[in-house]
Structure 1
Amino acid sequence: MSEEVRQKKLAEARKKLREFQQQRGISVPSGAKKKKKIKNGSSPETATSDGHSPEDAPKDHTAPAARPSDDTMSPAGVLSPSATSSTQNYDPENVPFVLSESTFSSTESLRQLSQQLNGLVCESASFVNGEGLASSANIKALESRYQELSLALDSSNLTNKQLSSEIEELKRQNQEIVDQLEKEKQEYKQKLAKEQGALREQLQIHIQTIGILVSEKTELQTALAHTQQAARQKTGEAEDLAGLLQSSQQRVGDLERTLCAVSTQQKQADRYNKELTKNRDALKLELYKNNKTNEDLKQENSELQEKLRVLVTDKEVLQLRMDELQKKLEMSELLLQQFSSQSETPDSKEQLQQALEERAQLETRVEQLKDLLKQLQVERDQYAENLKEENAIWQQKMQQMSEQMCKLREEKEHSVTLGTGGHSVPAETHQALQVAMDKLQSRFTELMQENVDLKERVEELEHRCIQLSGETDTIGDYITLYQNQRAVLKERHREKEEYISRLAKDKEDMKVKLLELQELVVRLVSERNELYGKFLGAAQSPAGESTPALPAPQATGAAHSQGDLQEVSLADSAEPDPAALENSTAQQIMQLLCELQSPQEYAGLSKNPCIPFFYRADDNTGVKIMVI
């Protein structure tokens, strides 16, 4: 198809070329012959020299040669409509002719312009030299002529530029068309070669196929003869096999019944295997949860160890503070002796007023400490309830796990019996399941033992927190008593007898408070021991193993009176354990210890307040205070 289209286009182009050549041959004057000479190699100056010479230009500039109606250039050098139409009807074969014609017209117009300019230059030179004087009318005519010539020159230059650009464009189009034709020709040749090769290959394939079919036909004919002979032989054998078929059918029936029995056993074994797999997955999940709980408890253990270290450091700071208070006690005795020997001072009333105000403040502080003690007791009760709930949850989990273990043992025994009776479960699978069950059981036992140990440590740390709370309350009571005695010392400065009576009264109050504190601490320790015993009994019963019970912590030291002295133990002899629980009670204890580390200065005296009591460290890492 592309070749036919190309041939049609070429035929139309040749037809148009012939028509164009005929038209140009009829209407082109002698100037066309000159253009052909230019095309054949002669220069434009040689082509135009036969009619005119450059010296004759002034004579001919008023009478330009007449051009035919179909010429492509107007006298002013502008393209005519015929030139435009001829440019549009472009054909590759008549391009040289059009180029020669446009070149000749532009060259002739340039030659005429140069002749006119030479004439004007000569006239202007003669006028400058004074050879002739022109009238004003001639000058105006020359000026107008000069303007016309300049306009004509500009238009001719513009026309030349347009023509040169058109020439370049036509050359480019001609080259593109030639390249396109060559490319189409090559493509057509390649396509034709490909089609011929494909046809040759198809022909060769058909020839081979025909040969193969002929050989197959002969082979099939021979095979048909052999098959007919074999069919005659097989008919005899079929009669013999008919009897064997009946016996085979009976054997197949027996085998099918046996296969049904085996398949039912296999299904049961598969069902038991699935149940065992589900139970194993459940145990793995429970083991993962236990591991996660163990990690959380270990993290809490480390955090509480850090807090316990902080509490120990605070306790040491308090011990140093008590040493300072002992020194201040000695100073207070000296002050007491001085106050007993001195007379009343003028500012005793002011000191008495300040002492009363300080006493009121200390009473409010005592009320706050009592409220804090109640709050700590409430938190202790709440924590005990939480431990009970957790204990119940663990007991329930232990019961569930024991039931699951019983079920797994029964299923394992059942699967073993099935394995011995038939080959439903492989021995390797059964052994692997048994090993996995033993590992899970041992791991679960270890986790439960670790949980029990952690709970015991938590219980001990709870006891330590309660003990620290009791020590804090005792220190607060002693500070309150110290402030009261300071007020009594100030009042004794005014009146000795009243001071002695108040001191005795404060001493009795202090003894009552110490007895109350002792009862409170003993009660807290007894409650803690009860909770501890209950927790150990509940934790040991579901685990199936007896864990060694930790020694119960010692109770707080019993108060005993020796004359006018009373000794109270504020710490037991148990060593601090690194495990602890994080709760609000520990935070309140830390806050109270920080408050005790920064006692308030009073403006009434130049020294810190003092209290008449002695402080020393117990042999069992306890704190003992003797009140005078």
Structure 2
Amino acid sequence: MADQSRQIKLAAAKKKLKEFQQKSSPTSVGVEKGGGGGGGGGGAGAKKKRKVKGLNQHDASSTGRNSPDNDYTDTNGNGSLTEEKRPLSSTESLRQLSQQLNGLVSGSSAAYVNGDSPPAMGERELEGRNQELSAALESSNLTNSQLNTKLDQLAQQSQVLSEQLQKERKEFDQKSSKEQGAMREQLQVHIQTIGILVSEKSELQTALQYTQHAARQKAAEAEDLNNRLQGTKQRVSELERTLSSVSTQQKQFEKQNKEFEKERDSLRLEVFRLNNLSEESKQQGSELSEQIKLRTQENGAMRLELEDLRKRLEIADLMLQQCSSQSDPSNATQQVQLLLGEKQQLEAHNHQLMESISQLQTERDCYAEQIQEEGRVWKDKTEQLLTQVSLVAEERDRNINRVQDLEASITELQHAAALLSQEREAQDNAEPQSSGPSESEVALQEALNALHQEKHALTAQYQAQLRDNEQLSRMCTEQETRLGELERQLESQVQEDGDRRRMLEDVQSDKATISRALTQNRTLKDQLAELQNGFVKLTNENMELTDAIQTEQHVKKELARRMGELQEELHNFKEQLELKSQDTQGLMEQRDQVAAQLQQYCAGYQTLVSEREQIHHQYLKQIQLMDRLQHDESQGRMHLEISQNQLKQAQDYLDLLVKDNEHLKTEVKDLLNSSALGSARDQGDGVESQSMQESPEQSTSIVIPEDFESKKDMEEFIRGALTRVEAERDEARRQLEEEHRHHMAARHQASMALSLEQQHHSHTDVHDHDHHHEHDHEHHHDHDHDHDHHQDHDHDHPHDHDHHHEHDHHHEHDPSQDPHSHCEHGHEHSEGGVPVEVHQALQAAMEKLQQRFTSLIREKADLKDRVEELEHRCIQLSGETDTIGEYIALYQSQRAIMKQKHQEKEHYISMLAQDKEEMKAKLAELQGLVMRLVSERNDWYSRYTAAVAGAGSVNPDLLPVGEDLTHQEHQAHSHTHLNADSGAEAMEVIPLSEPTPGLESPSSQAQSSGTSQTDSKSLGPKEDGTAQQIMQLLQEIQNPQGVLGSPPFLGENPCIPFFYRPDEQDEVKILVV
């Protein structure tokens, strides 16, 4: 409609222009074209500028701001210019007509002299007309600016209204979403209640079917019982006849059972005798095994004695080393004599041990003949071990000889060293300036080094021999363990053979008894058959005789009996009917109980739902706590990384400090070496100087100052350091003495414990004790090494060293003799044979075995009785387990039904959750579409207002006089009224009329005018598309997931009738119809 009215107005304007052109004369038109282009144009332009300066600045800004709207009104280029000049052309036509009339009236009186006056008057008139036209243009521009401001105000009003519409729609959407959520929750509750009712109905139906089936079974059982009663009555009569015959047969069977019991007792006595024989054989085997154990214990004792000898050799080596460190030759000779005496004693003891070993070999060979092939193998291995032992003894003798030679050479070197030290002192006194070792000292030192190397080589050989001996001992223990395993296998095989023999004898005896019982049963059956035949013959004869006499009496008795039976059957039927009625009442009560239990189950299910929600809330809280803990852990890791970096920095700093300390130590050593040359003159010989040079390497706890003030301070510091070193050396000697005492006491206790354990313990304990002695030997070797390490400090105080050495020798000599004498005593005790204590222990073991055998026989008899009782109970339990299996099958079937229903409910709940999520997404889409529709409507409304305003500005003559002002006032009044209403309701107003930096080009005006028409034409299909999408979304929201997603128990239309009313807290109370 707007486009049609606009076209009509344009046609009317064109007609008026044509009429105006026809009325205007060609002369006036020519004057306007000639004079208006030159000076008139400039004057009009100047006057226009002056008038524009006097205008209001607000109007100018509004015209500049709304220039696109002015461009929008120019729809077709030149046509717009004619539309703007339309009111000016009408006034000009009136004026020209009035001037022509005036000219005609005054034309006769005017006289043209040169033709200059009329043109001048025409120019002035044209200038006036131009001024009037410029004024008219300015007034039209003012009106256009006012209209543009009105358009802006109308656009703001439209935006305010659109915002109000959006807010109202959002509120409506929120209310609708709340209502839909309440409806969804009500639907879920109704669905749950329907599912519960359906499950209850199915359970009640199954209970009814079960009761009906039970009633039918009971009716069938009653019929079967009636039939059985009749059959039992007939059987009772027959059984009474057979009782007499069976009683006679039972007496005969009792006599036969007594005979069988006597035979069973005799068989039991034979079994007991055979068991005694087997036990005696076992005892003999145990005695043989104990003898083997005693032999192994004796071998272990011999090994222990060999180890004692080795340890004594080590002690002798230690004594030799101590002798080598001393300077007095008298003490060395005494120690050598003592060592030779100990050597002779050890050789004598070794000879005795060899004799005892030969005796043990003979005994072992005798015993190995009894044990077949395994004893021979053991004998060969022991002979190999003996050869190795002899080789070890020979090597030990060679080592002793070499040690003696070395001791002699060491004593000679010590004498030579003493002489050299005296000569050196004399040379130092004679020539104080000369310093340095002589050639003889160098030769002696080289000889000492060579001797030390030989000593180390000997110790290495000695350790290798010890390792070989240890390997041999391990081989012996492994062979002994193999022998024990073979003996155990033999014993187990003997036991298995005895058990097999017993089983065969039992089977044979059982077969004999079964064959006897079968023969007796056959004879009894034959006798019973003969007795039955004779009894049948007698009964037939009696029946034939009595049939003729007692036929009438028999008929009467049968009639009376039948009457009594019928009465009894009627009474039984009445009792059965009463029982059935009681059963039906019980079933009805059970049904009521089941219904009550179902109600309780429903209440429990509701409580479980509430508990599940609480657990979900607790789970969320725990997740929050876990997040916090993870955050704390990440912070802790950061702190740890920081602390680790700090530690690395501290370690680097410590490494730098250690390097600095080492550098300072080297400098201090150089100072001490330089000072030692000067202090050696005052303090004595060169041996002390060497010890002083070596002492700083050991004493690391002395704090060395950086600078010494004088030489005296340095000497005092060195003397203090020496005193500290000597104090530390004394403390180390004391600690060594205490450790040596503890070590010797422990060795003495171990030797005493060995003698006791040889009589009471097995070979495994002996092996553990050997390992303990090896550990003591290693500790003693470490102690010797420490003693050699501290040998350099003993040169400073020889007197203290001699005293210490004598004290150690005294402590070492006494315990070495005690275990020797103790070992000899043990050997003398072992030569006499088996000790009394062992014999008593064997007797006690035999008594215990006899008691154990008798107790086992009793337990075996009790266990047989117990097995019979258990078999009887198992038979009873098998019947009960069958009934339990039936109950379990029923329970499993019901449980499967409940599980299936629960799975269906969970599936439907998940479907509802998916529908809820889809509903949220669709609501979001609907909101977006509504917003788009609102924006499209706002665009359409703004364009419509712009078109209406453009039409009003084109043809103001169409409006009646005075209506233009009234229309403008009405628009302003309505605009202010709308602004007042919208300002009261709207929260935020977005300003759309922002100042533009400048005016756009006329080409953009033309483009905007062209696009406005195309946009106004394309609004229709877009709005139709958005409306269709909104309708589709509404249909999908009304039908979520279609009919396929509904559960099977709701049917095709999942609609539940219910009434709801919201509370004050927006909670819905449902009343299901």
TM-score by length of 2: 0.19
More helix by share: 2
**Greater relative contact order (Cα 8 A, min sep 6): structure 1 or 2?**
2
TM-score by length of 1: 0.29
